[in-house]
């Protein structure tokens, strides 16, 4: 069970006694005293029936940008301030690891970049990072357009069939369609494997979804029962999980073996010169194997591929899902987006160069990430004691935190903070063109695009950590530009051809979370051919 600490005076005495005991235990277990840090009060019911990150937002407004929350015997510090987030993620990044997140993900991703301890992470990040260089990204635009083209053809065929029956719109769960599209793109981009999931089902696709489902289940289940001896054999869902994992690992092992066996010196030369024009396989796996030769540890490589498969799939699908959700409630913004697409692309496909001109679509993508950050919470644990700096409000003196303290950095709270954004809950892609300055908040530099010259998309540097869609500091997302360009291409190609409306009222699209924010029952939409283009 999840309990929220209460210091209520109106409840029965026994409850206060229990709460005080829980406080003492919490402080003891978290290694010390978190000083005068406010403690979130709330009813247990606040945590049920809606995602945790929404409850954390209400408590942020009530208790300020650094507060403590207890889950049973365990305490979490919740951070919703850019100065404190910057300290944890960048300035003192190596005093933290991934804590609870690593515990959950390690059985799936092994020693892949996301859960990796610092000693494993450092050399791997150095090897993988160069793989995402500008020419690789440029070559990926073709993968994005080809895969999006398959989704569009599928919709056109369905519409044609519907037309024969006298209808002009089809009803589709676009969340599921985006999930297939993002899976196909990540498979081709990272290891040149075509899942073909837009058009077919296969055992390996089912295994990938099964594994993602289990990762989400584990991220929301407080007791790690899957670690108990025999659980993997006795609990049916754990048996299924082990089978899914084995199927994917066998597939990835086969791809790695193949990449090593087909390593050709001519391709290595092309890669060294970053010449992607004539390469048959420009995937990241090819780069990692070709540039590093046969000395790459297969197990580590597999963990890295699995990590990128999971990290790059649901996240991007979620961005597309919520972008359509937001646009469908704002017909004037939808029209403005389509007008930009028509003027930049006409009936053609996006290219690397045209992405630069699709400014409004890019802003829609980042505004969607502001309102629906994926994941909404970043998780850390202190490796040694640390002093958190003061935030912008109330807690100006900061707090000493002991080693072993678990932390949630709420990106959701930062992105909807009334202290940093005008109309924080409104969908206003244009806001990034006219961001506010710091207005004298000590220690926060405010918004300033000149800090990141040439950046196609607003980022954490421009906003001095008030906008953190990909995290920040050394463990920032490695696939940020890949994902942004992919989302821009897919959204532009969809809106170029179709008008999209929600099937039901927006309130019926409930949010649920695992690792990302997704809908409870799918994003059901009416999709039809645009009537204003021929
Ligand atoms: C890390 C978000 C797409 C690979 C992260 C982090 C965030 C994030 C917030 C930081 C986690 C932390 O600090 O705890 C997103 C979003 C995406 C996306 C919103 C899509 C819109 C991708 C893609 C890939 C990828 C496409 C790979 C192709 C990774 C990896 C890390 C990471 C490997 C770990 C980096 C490290 O620790 O060195 N992502 N991501 N992500 N992401 Fe992404």
11 band by pLDDT with thresholds 50, 70 and 90: very low
Strand order in the sheet with 169-173: 169-173, 524-529, 498-502
> 515 or 96: which carries more pLDDT confidence?
96
Tell which residue, 525, 531, 534, has the closest CA to residue 173. 525
Q: Report d(CA 25, CA 30) in Å as an integer.
A: 8
Best probe residue, ligand 1, of 305, 477, 515, 517 (max atoms within 8 Å of C-beta): 477
Report the nearest-CA residue for atom 3 of ligand 1: 312
Of 103, 284, 311, 376, the one to substitute when testing ligand 1's pocket (max ligand atoms within 8 A of C-beta) is 311
Confidence at residue 219, expressed as pLDDT on a 0 to 100 scale: 67
Residue 19 has what pLDDT? Answer: 42
**pLDDT value of residue 490:** 98
Give me the pLDDT at residue 39, please.
Answer: 86
Q: Which residue is listed with tokens 């979130």? A: 40
Whether the pLDDT of residue 27 is over 80: the answer is no
Q: Higher confidence at residue 520 or residue 41?
A: 520
Q: Does pLDDT of 525 surpass 50?
A: yes
Task: State the pLDDT at residue 164.
Answer: 80
Nearest Cα residue to 256 out of 218, 207, 228, 289: 289
**pLDDT value at position 75?**
79
Which residue is closest in CA terms to ligand 1's atom 2?
Answer: 470
Q: What are the pLDDT digits (tens) for 280-321?
A: 778 899 888 887 665 678 888 999 999 999 899 889 999 999
Q: Which residue has better confidence, 113 or 390?
A: 113
Closest atom of ligand 1 to CA, residue 318 = 21
- Residue with the smallest CA separation from ligand 1 atom 32 is 477
Task: Write out pLDDT tens, residues 75-125.
Answer: 789 999 999 999 999 999 999 999 988 888 888 899 999 999 999 999 999
Ligand 1 atom, smallest distance to 98 CA: 14
Name which residue sits closest to atom 36 of ligand 1, judged by CA: 475
Residue 190 CA: which ligand 1 atom is closest?
28
**Predicted pLDDT at 77:** 94
Look at residue 293 in the predicted model and tell me its pLDDT: 60
Q: In the chain, how long is the greatest CA-to-CA distance?
A: 77
Predicted local distance difference test score (pLDDT) of residue 42:
59
Specify whether the backbone of 380 is left (phi greater than 0), alpha (psi in -120 to 50) or beta: beta
- Mean pLDDT calculated for residue range 139-163: 95
Q: How far, in Å, from the CA of 79 to the mean position of ligand 1?
A: 20
Cα 311 to averaged position of ligand 1 atoms, centre (Å): 6
Residues enclosing ligand 1, CB less than 6 A? 113-114, 125, 190, 307-308, 311-312, 315-316, 319, 374, 378, 469-471, 475, 477-479, 482-483
CA of residue 366 to ligand 1 center, whole Å: 15
Give the residue whose CA is nearest to atom 1 of ligand 1: 477
Query: What is the sign, positive or negative, of the torsion defined by CA atoms of 321, 326, 331, 333?
Result: negative
What the block records as the tokens of 116 is 């990796």
What is the tens place of the pLDDT at every residue in 320-368? 999 999 999 999 999 999 999 999 999 999 999 999 999 999 999 999 9
Minimum mean pLDDT range among 178-192, 200-214, 308-322: 200-214
Mean pLDDT for all residues in the chain: 86
pLDDT band at 458 (very low <50, low <70, confident <90, very high): very high
Which residue did the predictor score with more confidence, 93 or 33?
Answer: 93
Output the residue whose Cα is nearest ligand 1's atom 6. 477
* pLDDT more than 90, % of the chain: 55
ipTM: 0.99
- Alpha-carbon gap, residue 514 to 362, rounded angstroms: 26
Of ligand 1's atoms, which has the minimum distance to the CA of residue 473? 13
For position 206, what pLDDT does the model report? 84
Residue of 488, 527, 507 whose CA lies nearest to 319: 488
The pLDDT, as a whole number, for residue 189 is 94
Residue to mutate (ligand 1; options 193, 479, 482; most atoms within 8 A of CB): 479
Tens-place pLDDT, residues 210-255: 887 787 777 666 667 777 777 777 788 888 989 999 999 999 999 8
Mean pLDDT of 44-72: 82
Q: Out of 167-176, 197-206, 496-505, pick the least confident.
A: 197-206
Matching residue, tokens 């056109």: 156
pLDDT range class, residue 396, cuts 50, 70, 90 = low
pTM, whole model, 2 decimals?
0.90
Residue of 366, 321, 348, 340 whose CA lies nearest to 500: 321
């Amino acid at each position: 069970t999840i309990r929220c600490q209460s210091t209520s005076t109106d409840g029965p005495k026994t409850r206060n006694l229990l709460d005080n005991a829980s406080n003492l235990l919490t402080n003891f277990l978290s290694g010390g005293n978190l000083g005068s840090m406010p403690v979130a009060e709330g009813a247990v019911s606040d945590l049920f029936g809606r995602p945790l990150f929404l409850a954390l937002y209400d408590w942020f407004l009530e208790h300020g940008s650094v507060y403590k929350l207890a889950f049973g015997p365990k305490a979490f510090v919740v951070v919703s301030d850019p100065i404190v987030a910057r300290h944890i993620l960048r300035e003192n990044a190596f005093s933290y690891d991934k804590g609870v997140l690593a515990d959950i993900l390690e059985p799936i991703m092994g020693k892949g970049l996301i859960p990796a301890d610092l000693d494993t992470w450092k050399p791997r990040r150095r090897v993988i990072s160069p793989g995402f260089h500008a020419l690789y990204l440029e070559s990926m635009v073709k993968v994005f357009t080809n895969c999006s083209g398959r989704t569009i053809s599928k919709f056109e065929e369905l519409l044609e069939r519907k037309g024969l029956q006298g209808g002009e719109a089809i009803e589709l769960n676009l969340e599921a369609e985006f999930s297939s599209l993002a899976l196909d793109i990540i498979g081709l981009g990272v290891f040149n494997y075509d899942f073909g999931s837009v058009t077919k089902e296969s055992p390996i696709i089912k295994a990938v979804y099964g594994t993602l489902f289990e990762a989400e289940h584990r991220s929301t289940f407080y007791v790690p029962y899957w670690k108990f001896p025999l659980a993997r054999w006795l609990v049916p869902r754990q048996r299924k999980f082990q089978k899914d994992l084995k199927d994917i690992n066998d597939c990835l092992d086969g791809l790695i073996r193949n990449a090593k066996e087909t390593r050709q010196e001519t391709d290595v030369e092309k890669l060294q010169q970053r010449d992607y024009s004539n390469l048959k396989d420009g995937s990241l796996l090819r780069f990692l194997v070709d540039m590093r030769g046969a000395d790459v540890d297969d197990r580590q490589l597999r963990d890295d591929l699995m990590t990128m498969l999971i990290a790059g799939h649901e996240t991007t699908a979620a961005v597309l899902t919520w972008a359509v959700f937001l646009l469908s409630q704002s017909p004037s913004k939808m029209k403005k987006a389509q007008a930009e697409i028509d003027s930049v692309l006409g009936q053609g496909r996006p290219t690397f160069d045209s992405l630069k001109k699709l400014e409004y679509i890019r802003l829609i993508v980042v505004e969607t990430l502001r309102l629906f950050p994926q994941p909404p919470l970043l998780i850390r644990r202190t490796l040694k004691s640390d002093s958190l700096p003061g935030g912008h409000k109330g807690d100006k003196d900061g707090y000493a935190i002991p080693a072993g303290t678990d932390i949630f950095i709420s990106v959701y709270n930062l992105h909807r903070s009334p202290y940093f954004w005008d109309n924080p809950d409104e969908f206003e892609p244009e806001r990034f063109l006219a961001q506010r300055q710091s207005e004298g908040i000590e220690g926060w530099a405010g918004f300033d695009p000149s800090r990141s010259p040439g950046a196609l998309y607003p980022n954490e540097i421009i906003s001095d950590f008030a906008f953190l869609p990909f995290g920040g500091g050394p463990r920032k997302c490695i696939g940020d530009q890949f994902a942004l360009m992919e989302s821009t291409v897919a959204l532009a190609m969809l809106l170029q051809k179709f008008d999209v409306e929600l099937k039901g009222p927006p309130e019926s699209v409930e949010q649920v979370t695992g690792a990302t924010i997704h809908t409870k029952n799918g994003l059901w939409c009416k999709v039809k051919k645009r009537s204003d283009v021929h």
